[in-house]
Structure 1
Amino acid sequence: MSTTITLNDLIKSRLGEIAEDIWESNRVMRISGDNGRVIQIGSAAVWEQWTCEADHGSGPCHEPLLTLDQAATLVGQPVDFSLVSPTMTPIEIEVLDESYGFQRTELYHLSDVTQEFTKAQG
């Protein structure tokens, strides 16, 4: 008797591996299902998918983490922009893009994205 593995099973498995790896290496937690929150800066909003649980010196951070695409949306910049001088080191991660499959991106703390938005406003 052979076991059939579907593409959805492989994707789910890979997403689980990514979440475990980033938890072990950076104390970043994936937000599942409806447990996230809407993050809004200016006139744009995105849905929280990751949160930082690392201790940066004063207990667990609990700050939302945003992908580069989400940060670009909130700051109102093209997707190929980058934060110039984030306070916290960006965290490299693989995410599943519906058009391109698994892609490398970076996660940024919300405070760094907010700071970039404030700078862009002048």
Structure 2
Amino acid sequence: MSSPTLTLNDLIRTRLEEIAEDLWQNDRVMGVNHGDGRVLQLGTAAVWEQWACHSDHGYGLCGEPLVTATQASTLLGMYSDDDPVPNPSIPLIETELLDEGVGAFLPDALFHFSDVTREFKKAQG
């Protein structure tokens, strides 16, 4: 009798599912399937939508795309460890996401696209 084999891919998939479930339960954030996401563009930079906010911030359901700190930095043309949106009008959502460049789950933040857009316009003058 052999025991079932647990692979690294199984562990990663399970952790991704746990993170998605926690984001939904705690913050009403839903993951977007890769084929269903939109391209979010500011200036000449673009990123793929991975998360969407379904919370009520006092004006009804939000429905706005959320971007990671790395995506926000890319859209704003920033390549540093500084917070890409220092004063978001809608509080950022802290979570843990898979960083494929590092190959590990690391703390990250999700920003509303409107806050990133506002920061972009502010930088443009």
Flag whether TM exceeds 0.5 (same fold).
yes
Q: Is residue 3 from structure 1 mapped to residue 4 from structure 2 by the alignment?
A: yes
Q: Is residue 98 from structure 1 mapped to residue 74 from structure 2 by the alignment?
A: no
Q: Is residue 115 from structure 1 mapped to residue 107 from structure 2 by the alignment?
A: no
1:76 corresponds in structure 2 to: 77
TM-score under structure 2 length normalisation: 0.94
Give the drift of 1:32: 1.4
SS of residue in 1 equivalent to 2:20: helix
- Extract unaligned runs of 5+ from structure 1: none
- Extract unaligned runs of 5+ from structure 2: none
Is residue 73–residue 79 contact of structure 1 (8 Å, CA) maintained in 2? no
Q: Deviations over 1:12-43 (max 9, x none)?
A: 00000000001000000011121100000111
User: Sequence identity of aligned pairs in percent?
Assistant: 55
RMSD: 0.9
TM-score under structure 1 length normalisation: 0.96
Task: Specify the code of the residue in structure 2 equivalent to 1:105.
Answer: D
Count of residue pairs the alignment pairs up: 122
C-alpha distance in structure 2 between counterparts of 1:109 and 1:10, whole Å: 29
Is residue 68–residue 79 contact of structure 1 (8 Å, CA) maintained in 2? no
